[in-house]
Amino acid sequence: MASLGKIARRTFLIGAAAIAGGVAVGYYYYRKPYPNPLEGDLAADEATFNPYVKIGADDTITIIAPRAEMGQGISTTLAAMVAEELDVNLDQVKVEHGPAAYAYYNAAILEEGGPFAFFDESMTAEIVRAGMGVVGKFLALQGTGGSASTRDGFDKIRQAGAAARQMLIAAAAQKLGIAAADLETANGSILHKASGKSLTYGAVAATAAIMAPPADIRLKDKADWKLLGKPQKRIDMLAKVTGAPIFGIDVTLPDLLYGTVKMSPRFWAKPVKADFSKAEKMPGVIKIVPIDTNYGHGFGIIAENTWTAFKAAEAIDTEWADPEYPLDSAGISKALKRTLGTKGSVMRDDGDVNTAFADAPREKIVEADYAVPYLAHATMEPMNATARLKDGVLDIWCGNQAPTLVRQLCANAVGIEQDNVNVHTTFMGGGFGRRVEVDYALCAALMAKETAGRPIKVIWTREEDMRHDAYRPASVGKFQARLGNDGMPIAVDMTIASPSLIASTLRRLFPSISPLGPDKSIVDGAHNQPYTIPNYRVTGVAAPVSIPVGSWRSVGSSINGFFHEGFLDEIAVAGKTDPVDLRKKLMAAYPAAVKVVEKVAEMAKWGET
């Protein structure tokens, strides 16, 4: 790639050099594993081999799949990785999410955080990806997002299964008095074919678990895979089709209270006045409490049932301060368009765009403006969490995409240590990045401070859910191209303005941290396309509109994929070129990308009348 992110890259590589130096100094600590979080919470007959495997004396095998299951099937995928190397079938195991723990860090979630295209295999790009992965481990981010869970787990989770299997074989060899090399495994048992002797995993689990993990972990050859790469029945299928209570909204506990929230409809704006008198007189209303977090301000309603809480929230008469952003769509649109004319960060700068446009005949110029609105996540399961604060210990049940973040921020909110917070991660009825946020958990934790040890389930109304989100950003784009005599683009200049996802997220989660460098999410899906155009510039500008924005299923790519590909269609029409042929010519340097376009054209029956 000629010059992807010239300006951003210089800034980024300064940080990358610092990262590399830190890695060199702290390599020992990077290699050192985090403690196994399962060791302190085992049943009497259970043994744990690593953070991903527990085996009971009764042959119950439990696999930990520590990524959020929101319908994408990751719990089945991760369980299959362990089961493959452990030599058991999926129907022989229980699968749990496991606790919030640093051992379940997701290194891959940061690997594409640099200013490089996903197909850039240059040494610089690979070094930065590796460095960002190291940062991911040091930060101990247990998160589900960025389509990173399979990439992150593919080696380390398979190694967990393989290591446990080797330890079980070693323990069986010791017990049977047979060389480990003469033993094999199948379906949860260790076998010696020559003598017919066998032991189940449960019979040797306790002995095996106290052995030193193998220094040389041997993974199966791909040719020997029985589960991976083959269709598998979803482990959550039966529970979902039978309506089992597996979601956060299904949680029920003894002596349970219920609640909801009424937050300011103007982000960051505080209440100017609030009249609780009507709400407090309603039967079943227990208490109304203020809620103040980095997400905004409002009130929590504690009641004997959810319906009463909802009706009481409606009955609160409130007046809110003015917001720090325009109150209508027209004002927001004007703010975004004004930003297009300000200085931004050039994330791709091939050739000399200014010179290419300087003498362009007007008839060879193609121009287009694009705009998309804010989008809510609108998950099928509304935001909810159940919390209990008793004897200095906070238990919180919710579907979430970042358990360690829930633990940390809820601990801070109620004033206790993280070690005294237990996060019980449930299945979730949709996430798409919404449950990377922790506002719903914070509200429940703060309301649990007011219930004298009784648990409280806090459910947001659908209206509250839609009004208070970290939305996909609104965005505008100004695109220009110069065509050659053959109708092909000689130059393309793209400027995109959008609120910064990074700055917005830091404001909510880590307000003491300032963003470092440009926010490439503004131009994701535009700057990193596999097209070769002689003069090719993509600029991103952070718009000063403070409506909260966050992760929304690919974020920038869902916006700029539309902008970029829509503009290529405009170029094709203006240049009288077939859109498929245009793309294939422009991405000829990347054969894999050409094959994708060809496959899509085939599926669409392109060219058929």
* Same structural domain, 340 and 363: yes
* CB within 8 Å of 67: residues ≥ 6 apart: 74, 75, 78, 97, 106, 144, 149, 153
Examine the domain organization and report whether 535 and 592 are in the same domain. Answer: no
Mean pLDDT of the chain: 94
**Parent domain of 304:** 248-322+384-467
At residue 20, the pLDDT reads 47
Supply angle C-alpha 551, 556, 561, rounded to 5: 140
pLDDT in tens, 319-375: 999 999 998 999 999 999 999 999 999 999 999 999 999 999 999 999 999 999 999
Per-residue pLDDT band for 30 (boundaries 50, 70, 90) equals low
Predicted confidence at residue 31, as pLDDT, reads 64
User: pLDDT per residue over 77-100, tens digit each?
Assistant: 999 999 999 999 999 999 999 999
Nearest CA to 86 out of 193, 28, 167 is that of 167
CB 470 within 8 A of CB 506: no
Q: What is the pLDDT of residues 188-244, one digit of tens each?
A: 999 999 999 999 999 999 999 999 999 999 999 999 999 999 999 999 999 999 999
Same-domain pairing of 168 and 277: no
CA–CA gap between residue 562 and residue 570 (Å, rounded):
12
Confidence check: pLDDT of 17 > 60: no
- Asked if residue 371 and residue 268 are part of one domain, the reply reads no
**150 domain residue, yes or no:** yes
Express as a percent the part of the chain with pLDDT over 70: 95
Res. 19: pLDDT tops 50:
no
Specify the residue for token string 């094709």.
Answer: 572
Please give the structure tokens belonging to residue 547: 């409506």
Q: From start to end of 30-97, where are the E strands?
A: 46-50, 53-56, 61-64, 93-96
410-453 pLDDT, tens digit each: 999 999 999 999 999 999 999 999 999 999 999 999 999 999 99
User: How far apart are the C-alpha atoms of 367 and 23, rounded to whole Å?
Assistant: 46
Query: Mean pLDDT over residues 9-14, rounded?
Result: 44
Task: Name the domain boundary from 237, 269, 284.
Answer: 237
**Largest Cα span, the chain:** 86
- The verdict on 390 and 318 lying in the same domain is yes
Quick one: 486 and 410 in the same domain? Answer: no
225 and 371 housed in the same domain = no
Q: Smallest Cα–Cα separation from 456: which of 472, 469, 466, 445?
A: 445
CB 574 within 8 A of CB 492: no
Whether residues 571 and 590 fall in one domain: no
pLDDT score of 475: 98
Q: What are phi and psi of 263, to 5 degrees?
A: -100, 160
Give the CATH number, domain containing residue 365.
Answer: 3.30.365.10
The residue from 467, 492, 521 where one domain ends is: 467
Which pLDDT tens digit goes with each residue over 242-272? 999 999 999 999 999 999 999 999 999 999 9
Shared domain check, 422 and 340: no
Residues 475 and 547 in one domain: yes
Q: What is the pLDDT of residue 134?
A: 87
Q: Quick one: tokens of 340?
A: 């297009």
Q: Who contacts 215 (Cβ-Cβ below 8 Å, separation ≥6)? A: none
DSSP secondary structure string for all residues of 381-425: SPPEEEEEEETTEEEEEE--S-HHHHHHHHHHHHT--GGGEEEEE
288 and 186, same domain (yes or no): no
Pull the structure tokens for residue 105. 């860090």
Q: Please determine, for residue 117, whether its predicted confidence score (pLDDT) is greater than 80.
A: yes
3-state secondary structure of 70: coil
In which order are the strands placed within the sheet that holds 184-186? Answer: 184-186, 189-192, 197-200
Each residue of 35-83: pLDDT tens digit?
Answer: 999 998 999 999 999 999 999 999 999 999 999 999 999 999 999 999 9
Q: CB count, 10 Å around CB of 190?
A: 28
Whole-structure pTM value? 0.92
Does 135 reside within a domain?
no
In this prediction, residue 26 carries a pLDDT of: 47
Spell out the residues 6+ positions from residue 340 whose beta carbon is closer than 8 angstroms to its own. 476, 478, 495, 497, 541
Q: How many domains does the chain have?
A: 4
